[in-house]
Chains A and B, each alone.
Chain A
């Protein structure tokens, strides 16, 4: 076994996904099979190989620090599930 049900449950919490018992069962089984498959990478010697984050060499993209037009508060809030005044509204965070 590459991964246990308890580990899957833990990863679910990290990923902020509420998983049902049935989902935990099937994910444990499927992730185990996938992790078993990716195990083959370990056979490759990658000592001294520089990791590739992007295939095209890239530098940080800077722009001049100038004011540009952006969304109005109404536009920014247009898809909000809940909003009040100029803010997104969520349940109380601090009791």
Chain B
């Protein structure tokens, strides 16, 4: 038995029966990270000392019978979550030396269960990117093929799960940043409904779209992680005060009477033939499992990318105004006056893509352009959201590709921002609509790269979406494959 190949659920059983201790599990993972991180670059910070202390505390709790679902389980988190005493860089030079004085709510919740945090994960700077190439700490490589990107922006989160460097990870998803890397790395990734999980203590990118979610090896683990982080938090005014269902209980495997919608607009020209084939095969599997497959239409899909890049950049330009070199973060030393200090600090601290988005967002909000760009995009967002609500009157969940292609090559799209943005065409709409969506493994390309299947659920109905995902996983073996290295 290799410890780092076990799932959260398998580790839980062995910790509860004392077959393994939290210290043994943590040691196995820290060794695995030390042996593999130079190849993947998925971690920005590893925290062996605090991890071992947390593992010891978990073992004491286990011995005392004080056991929560995540007690003693090794979890890594995207470097966008504030974690007391550890650097939180957001993969940016502007926050390179930032040490948060408090924990994000999602972190506090997994810590309260005595999970062991093994490190902080690489990402696109400020979660802006689809390839993890926009990191001040270097690109992350796809564990299935080092010449390919892991996807982004939670590229480190997805790669670390595929590479068996942590049993579960936390990421964030603003336009696909959990689902697209999960798809490219062959792991499970879930973006909850907007408002389901608190964003308190999570570095903000686009506040009307950002959502926290888990990346895991299978659907059961995903449900376990979602259970731990979901729920109302008074510290996040956008978190919704609604009961959190029992997600484990939703994993029945029963699809009787389930209606699955295929959005026609997602199966268009530009969809890679391997991806098309894998998704068609998944559709056939669902039919065999007893689900009813219904064609639906989301007529405004083609406008989603344009709508997103106006709304997200506008919100980003506002959110990132806080990096002024006064209270925290990088301050340029050679400034003549206060305004110059702001301008020099921001110029020195932000990377190319972050500057590009701040500029676009500032322009979209600037005097004379607000109505034509930002307000227009918000109106189009209403139409996109209405498309989903209409579709959900006919079906319980939607089935679609996650990304138009398998993971592309490192460097392939860096010089063409528009091409990079278009790789999020199938994930962005769920963020604009605010609904839940997830990616789960459904096949491999002829080149041997993983392909993900996207399920898009009704708002606040993660239960049906997880049930649908679990039934597929039970019927297939894709989630059991792992990269050889």
A residues with a Cβ closer than 8 A to B are 3, 7-8, 11-19, 23, 27, 30-31, 33-35, 37-38, 40-42, 44, 46, 49-56, 58, 60-61, 63, 71, 75-76, 78-82, 88, 90-91, 93
Stretch of B43-51, B183-191, B284-292, B301-309 on the interface side: B301-309
B residues with a Cβ closer than 8 A to A are 97-99, 101-102, 193-195, 208, 234, 237-238, 240, 300, 302-303, 305-307, 309-310, 317, 321, 324-331, 335, 337-344, 346-347, 350, 355-356, 358-360, 362-363, 366, 372-373, 375-383, 385, 417-418, 421, 432-435, 459
Report the separation of the CA atoms of residues A80 and B327 in the bound assembly, to the nearest whole angstrom. 5
Q: Identify which of B194, B331, B358 contacts A55 (C-beta below 8 A).
A: B194
Q: Identify which of A37, A56, A81 contacts B329 (C-beta below 8 A).
A: A81
Interface of A is mostly: loop
Q: Identify which of A37, A54, A55, A91 contacts B337 (C-beta below 8 A).
A: A91
Contact between A49 and B383, CB atoms less than 8 A apart = yes
Which residues on B sit within 8 Å (CB–CB) of A11? 359, 362-363, 366
**Distance (whole angstroms) from the CB of B398 to the closest CB of chain A:** 16
Please judge, given known A-B contacts A46-B379, A91-B335, whether A41 and B303 are in contact too, CB under 8 Å.
Answer: yes
Report the separation of the CA atoms of residues A14 and B365 in the bound assembly, to the nearest whole angstrom. 11
Which residues on A sit within 8 Å (CB–CB) of B208? 53-55
Contact between A81 and B375, CB atoms less than 8 A apart = no
Contact between A80 and B328, CB atoms less than 8 A apart = yes
Contact between B360 and A51, CB atoms less than 8 A apart = no
Most B CB contacts (10 A, CB to CB) among A33, A41, A91 go to A41
Report the separation of the CA atoms of residues A63 and B456 in the bound assembly, to the nearest whole angstrom. 34
Which residues on B sit within 8 Å (CB–CB) of A41? 303, 306-307, 310, 376-377, 380
Most B CB contacts (10 A, CB to CB) among A17, A50, A71 go to A17
**Distance (whole angstroms) from the CB of A8 to the closest CB of chain B:** 7
Which residues on A sit within 8 Å (CB–CB) of B309? 34, 37-38
Which residues on B sit within 8 Å (CB–CB) of A35? 363
Report the separation of the CA atoms of residues A52 and B421 in the bound assembly, to the nearest whole angstrom. 22
Which residues on A sit within 8 Å (CB–CB) of B330? 81
**Distance (whole angstroms) from the CB of A27 to the closest CB of chain B:** 6
Report the separation of the CA atoms of residues A51 and B380 in the bound assembly, to the nearest whole angstrom. 8
Please judge, given known A-B contacts A30-B356, A53-B378, whether A71 and B101 are in contact too, CB under 8 Å.
Answer: yes
**Distance (whole angstroms) from the CB of A4 to the closest CB of chain B:** 12
Contact between B343 and A16, CB atoms less than 8 A apart = yes
Q: Identify which of B194, B238, B303, B435 contacts A44 (C-beta below 8 A).
A: B303
Report the separation of the CA atoms of residues A63 and B234 in the bound assembly, to the nearest whole angstrom. 8
Which residues on A sit within 8 Å (CB–CB) of B327? 79-80, 88
Contact between B344 and A18, CB atoms less than 8 A apart = yes
Contact between A17 and B435, CB atoms less than 8 A apart = no
Contact between A34 and B418, CB atoms less than 8 A apart = yes
Report the separation of the CA atoms of residues A65 and B215 in the bound assembly, to the nearest whole angstrom. 38
**Distance (whole angstroms) from the CB of B275 to the closest CB of chain A:** 23
**Distance (whole angstroms) from the CB of A63 to the closest CB of chain B:** 6
